[in-house]
Chains A and B, each alone.
Chain A
Amino acid sequence: MKKQMIISGLRARPVRTTVTILAVALEVVLILVIIGLTTGMTQETARRTAGVGAELMVQPPGADVLLATSENSMPLSLGDKLREIPGVKAVAPVMLKMNIKGGIEILYGIDSHFTEVSGGFHWLEGGPSKSSNEIIVDDLWAKDHSAKPGDKIKLLNTELTISGIVDHGQGSRVFMSMEDLSTALGQPARAGVFYVKVKDPEQVQGVKGEIEQVLTDYTVRDMKTLTSLYTSSNIPGLDYFINAVVAIALIIGILVIFLSMYTTITERTREIGILRAMGASKAFIVGLIFQETTVVCILGVIFGTGASFFIQRTLAAAFPTLMIEITRDWIARAAVFAILSGVIGSFYPSLKAASQDPVEALAYE
């Protein structure tokens, strides 16, 4: 019976019901897309970094897990020291530069050692750089920029020519020679990270220990654990950002539900009076409003989740380098937040409705 009352109540006010559902859906989209974007970008970066082919990476002392924040402070001679350590097969120094023009990406300045670690690129079009001021890009970057081998692009105030397009997933999306990057930056060639390939993958921890003994204070990371390190709690400021997004979404949801239910119960004062006159308890009225809110929130969650996946696909088609990762975990959380905002937002209106004097409510015009 209550179900029938709830459905007929919602259908009787289609515009408000639709707007409220859309507002809850917006709350869900805000959470899923923005959190999905941050998660997607960090996880994809982690997977790409791990995809270089190395088992270990060495960073400057106190370096953050995010390569974008790493400084090119390590001398290339450190590579020779690393190569001398037993168990090390190959070492590739990489000079890093974050580029925010046309999207956030980390440029890799590499030398011939990179191939020793990665095993070489998988070429889709074109080939390796043969002269200076040539770059290699991955397929997603090329698709995003509608670029092909031979095209000229301007990066770091330098005109560069695309020599080849490689499969994505090996560190960066844009590679250039360390020499060119050093020249473009006006800095001596130094490394922001050393990728280390070991002879026996079973001995990774042993080699890591050796490196830590030789290069005291330097940060040595096992690539297997890298993905798990790229979490919001390990990335400075990301937790605050996520919390802020969730809080804003929650506030939007609460305010919309509050406004919607407040105006609903004001409009339905007489109906509530009728129910009270028939002997409906305060709990019955509160329950009715909570259940109506919950139905709206559930519909909002369904539409919001669907819309988030639609946005994810649309953005992926338009901007291939943009990764939005919508996880089951965050869908569940977004649903909880949406229903929570419904409960909080309808709390006062439901109490107001339940405490109405039946005589006054029936006299309401």
Chain B
Amino acid sequence: MKILLETIDLRKTYKVGKVDVQALRGVSLRVRKGELTAIMGPSGCGKSSLMHILGAMTKPTAGKVLIERSDIGDMDDSDLTRIRREKVGFVFQKFNLLPTLTARANIDVARHIRGLKTGHDAHLAEILQLLMIEDKMGRKPAELSGGEQQRVAIARALASKPSILLADEPTGSLDTKNSEIVLNMFRELNRKFTQTVILVTHNPELVTYTDRLIEMRDGIVVSDNDPIPEGADSELEQPARSV
């Protein structure tokens, strides 16, 4: 399997007043194309910082992050923006839909930014059908339930055909029933489109829907049930580490 994303001794330090806070203290991991991975850990363990770095929203203090062979640590703001635009799709806990636009327009904005045409698209139609929100496209976020908003947010994230879908506590604002629906949809999307998905959560129930669980604590990975044994990737397509 092709390695899509790799971190090598990733470190992130924030300055809080005069104190340095180490959010990540040497995280190394690999995510392959088509994997549905959960990164789990308690609040403050560094999982959100990891997600922001994996999503090219911020740069690491040290270490390497390779997204499809490109090290984002060497990139300037415009290159990071390009990576977000072309490689990453985000799903947030609070949905983060643009409140003044309809569901359809929210999706079209993502496609417009990506440089895709905003008309009919078979791939998008399939996603909307799978997410069961085809008939909600004319509504504004305030007119949708939490579960519907999150499904629109997922559609928006996937509309630009990203390599990686990053979801930060995607069920954090949903009730149990909607959480189940949304998680099933993540799995369905992963199976149907071989979509690489990384879910960041502190909810242990969520991991039953994923193939792989990476547990974090105090800024480091404490367990990783990677189904592919270490070293097996070396025979497969690998990123150039000298980037």
Contact across chains for A276 and B58 when beta carbons are under 8 A apart: no
**What string of 1s and 0s marks CB contacts (under 8 Å) between A267-292 and chain B?**
00011011111111110100000000
| Cross-chain contact B109 with A275 (CB below 8 angstroms) | yes
Say yes or no: A282 contacts B96, CB within 8 Å.
no
The answer for the CA separation of A270 and B99 in the assembled complex, in Å, is 11
Instruction: Verify A270–B100 contact, CB threshold 8 A.
Output: no
By beta carbon, the residue of chain A nearest B108 is: A1
Instruction: Given A1-B118, A271-B98, A362-B92, answer yes or no on A279-B84 (Cβ-Cβ < 8 Å).
Output: yes
Complex partner residue of B90 from A8, A270, A278, A284, CB under 8 angstroms: A278
> In the bound complex, what is the Cα–Cα distance between A282 and B79 (angstroms)?
12
Chain A hits for B174, CB < 8 A:
none
Q: Enumerate A1-46 residues with CB–CB distance to B below 8 Å.
A: 1-2, 4-5, 8-9, 11-12
Q: Check B99 against A12 for contact (C-beta < 8 Å).
A: yes
Bound Cα distance from A280 to B84, whole angstroms: 9
Chain B residue numbers with a CB within 8 Å of A9 are 100
Using Cβ atoms and an 8 Å threshold, which residues of chain B touch A270? 96
Q: Quick check: is B85 within 8 A (CB to CB) of the other chain? A: yes
Between B78, B98, B105, B160, the greatest number of chain A beta carbons within 10 A of the residue's beta carbon is seen for B98
Tell me if B30 counts as interface (CB < 8 A to partner A).
no
Task: Flag if A274 contacts B98 (CB, 8 Å).
Answer: yes
* B192 interface residue per 8 A CB criterion: no
Instruction: Report whether over half of chain A's contact residues are helix, strand or loop; otherwise say mixed.
Output: helix
CB distance from B230 to the nearest CB of A (A): 32
A248 within 8 A of B: no
A280 to B156, CA, bound (A): 14
A362 to B101 Cα, complex, angstroms: 18
Chain A residues whose CB sits within 8 angstroms of the CB of B88 once the complex forms: 279
A281 touches B57 (CB 8 A): no
A9–B105 alpha-carbon span in the complex (Å): 12
B101 near A8 with CB under 8 A, answer: yes
A4 to B110, CA, bound (A): 13
Partner of B100, one of A8, A359, A362: A8
Could you say which residues of chain A place their CB within 8 Å of the CB of B52? 359
Q: Is the CB of B58 within 8 A of A278?
A: no
Give CA–CA (A354, B190) in the complex, Å: 34
Given the complex, which residues of B lie within 8 Å of A273, measured CB to CB? 96
Q: Is B82 among interface residues, defined by CB-CB distance under 8 A?
A: yes
Q: Is the CB of A4 within 8 A of B85?
A: no
Task: Tell me the bound Cα distance from A53 to B156 in angstroms.
Answer: 77
Partner of A279 from the list B101, B108, B113 (CB cut-off 8 Å) is: B113
- Assembly CA distance A11 to B98 (angstroms): 14
| B77 lies within 8 A of chain A by Cβ | yes
Name the B residues within 8 Å of A239 (CB-CB). Answer: none
Q: Which residue of B lies closest to A274 (CB)?
A: B96
CA distance A22 to B88 in the complex (A): 42
- Decide if B100 touches A11 in the complex (CB within 8 Å): yes
Instruction: Give Cα distance in the complex from A280 to B113, angstroms.
Output: 6
Q: How far is the CA of A278 from the CA of B166 in the complex (A)?
A: 12
- Interface contact B58-A359, CB-CB below 8 Å: yes
Q: Give complex CA distance A273, B81 in Å.
A: 12
Closest to B157 in A: A278
Check if A192 is an interface residue, CB within 8 A of chain B: no
The 8 Å CB contact of A281, one of B58, B78, B90, B101, is: B78
Contacts of B84 in A (CB 8 A): 276-279, 358
Whether A359 contacts B57 by the Cβ 8 Å rule is yes
User: Do A284 and B113 touch (CB < 8 A)?
Assistant: yes
Contact of B33 with A by CB under 8 A = no
Tell me whether A277 and B100 are in contact (CB under 8 A).
Answer: no
Asked whether B55 is an interface residue with its Cβ less than 8 Å from the other chain, the reply is yes
Give the residues in chain A near B78, CB-CB below 8 Å: 281-282
* Distance of A53 Cα from B32 Cα, bound (Å): 95
Contact with B along A282-310 (1 / 0, CB 8 A): 10100000000000000000000000000
Q: Which residue of B lies closest to A358 (CB)?
A: B57
Please give, as numbers and ranges, the residues of chain B lying within 8 Å of A278 by CB-CB distance.
84-85, 90, 109-110, 113, 156, 160
Q: List 18 extra interface pairs beyond A1-B108, A276-B84, A277-B55, CB under 8 A.
A: A4-B108, A5-B101, A5-B105, A9-B100, A12-B99, A12-B100, A274-B96, A275-B109, A277-B57, A278-B113, A278-B156, A279-B82, A279-B160, A281-B85, A358-B57, A358-B58, A359-B57, A362-B96
**B contact residues vs A (CB 8 Å cutoff):** 52, 55, 57-58, 77-78, 81-86, 88, 90, 92, 96-101, 105, 108-110, 112-114, 118, 156, 160
A sample of 27 cross-chain residue pairs with beta-carbon separation below 8 angstroms, ordered by A number, consists of A1-B112, A1-B118, A5-B109, A8-B101, A11-B100, A12-B100, A270-B96, A271-B98, A271-B99, A273-B96, A275-B113, A278-B84, A278-B110, A278-B160, A279-B81, A279-B83, A279-B85, A279-B86, A280-B81, A280-B85, A280-B113, A281-B85, A282-B77, A357-B58, A358-B57, A359-B52, A362-B92
